[in-house]
Amino acid sequence: MTSDFDRLADAILAGSPATPDDALAVLRAADAELLHVVAAAGRLRRAHFGNTVKVNYLVNLKSGLCPENCNYCSQALGSSAPILKYSWLSQDAALDQAAAGLHGGACRVCLVASGRGPSDRDVDKVADLAGALKRQHPDVEVCACLGLLKDDQAQRLKDAGVDAYNHNINTAESHHAEIVQTHTYADRVDTVQRAKDAGLSPCSGLIAGLGETDEQLVEALFALRELDSDSIPVNFLIPFDGTPFQHTWDLTPTRCLLVLAMARFVCPDREIRIAGGRELHLRSVQSIALHLANSIFLGDYLTSEGQEAERDLELIRDGGFVVLGSEQDLAQRAEPAIRRRGAGTDVLPNA
């Protein structure tokens, strides 16, 4: 039986982009339709990315101590979340961190620093680091995420060999003032535009679960399509204690799948990356999510821990996907563990 979502996928593959109404219908699909949605969006994913998963690795160069007040952020002004706080890592320490991620299978390293935006000295520091990273690992893709850019900062990063720049719009323009007051939505769009104008690959995404309406999630996705973001990180709110969103939990695993599916229908040929909150919110359906998204972060996030990096790779392999750019032999077998607990033993059962 052909579902409405299959017909939508056919139309998109034939060159008719999804409309906001289509996106809303995906977001509001009934539980019984979930697998139809996944199957249809999965066709778009495979048409553009086959069975590859891009693996990215975050290096938090500077953590916490931010003067901005993004309500969702554990590093924000006023946040009392007990996160690691430190000023710039040394170049050697940053290179060591990046090497660990690359060794684990990542092909893109994201160099991130908290703050409203970089000073020119900060840009020099990141430019030097990017150059050193490229000399050590010529094939690495480097993405910088340093906040709002001004003047010729994007160009200087580009000239130093940085490939991409991340700056998320985070939410719909109509919801932005509810979640941050120290900068505007237009400021964020301006930085994405500057990155693009300098020839950096624009990476901009959103956070679901910020109290936005369905229509606002759709609005944010269409804004990202309009911005022509090459990669779209989809975050699911991590409600850190000590932040204004600490008691906000609007997401379920199925809702998260529908958000990712909507992103795929709206931006079928863009890198859709499952970002922060993957383990917390998708939980046991992470593997289904890979049929929608084609990119993940390996290991830990900026201020919270992810699952073991090896489990991330297992997730990819077990779903029949391959790490983009990896030649590794994916055949793996696990040895059965002989039961030594529960019935017939003096040891407590596994229940």
| Binding site, annotated residues for [2Fe-2S] cluster | 110, 143, 203, 273
- Choose among 7, 74, 29: nearest CA to 242: 74
Angstrom distance (rounded) from CA 52 to CA 293: 10
Annotated binding site for [4Fe-4S] cluster: 66, 70, 73
- Is the CB of 179 or the CB of 262 nearer to ligand SF4? 179
Cross-strand pairs, 166: 203
- Is the CB of 68 or the CB of 312 nearer to ligand SF4? 68
Shortest Å distance, C-beta 288 to ligand SF4: 29
- Is the CB of 53 or the CB of 207 nearer to ligand SF4? 207
Shortest Å distance, C-beta 182 to ligand SF4: 8
Encode burial over 66-100: b for 16+ CB neighbours within 10 A, e otherwise.
bebbbbbbbbbeebebebeeeebbeeeebbebbbe
Shortest Å distance, C-beta 26 to ligand SF4: 28
- Is the CB of 181 or the CB of 213 nearer to ligand SF4? 181
- Chain centre to alpha carbon of residue 20: 22
Task: Say which residues have a Cβ less than 8 Å from residue 298's Cβ, sequence separation at least 6.
Answer: 55, 56, 57, 101, 104, 105, 106, 306, 309, 312, 313
Angstrom distance (rounded) from CA 310 to CA 197: 37
Count CA atoms closer than 13 A to 279's CA, side-chain side. 14
Which contiguous run of DSSP H or E holds residue 60? strand 52-62
- Is the CB of 81 or the CB of 289 nearer to ligand SF4? 81
* Footprint of ligand SF4 (CB under 6 A): 66, 68, 70, 73, 75-76, 114, 116, 147
Is residue 56 helix, strand or coil? Answer: strand
Shortest Å distance, C-beta 246 to ligand SF4: 15
Task: Say which residues have a Cβ less than 8 Å from residue 151's Cβ, sequence separation at least 6.
Answer: none
Shortest Å distance, C-beta 65 to ligand SF4: 9
- Is the CB of 149 or the CB of 290 nearer to ligand SF4? 149
Shortest Å distance, C-beta 6 to ligand SF4: 38
- Is the CB of 75 or the CB of 204 nearer to ligand SF4? 75
Angstrom distance (rounded) from CA 194 to CA 116: 16
Shortest Å distance, C-beta 335 to ligand SF4: 44
DSSP string, 101-145: HHHTT-SEEEEEE-SSS--HHHHHHHHHHHHHHHHH-TT-EEEEE
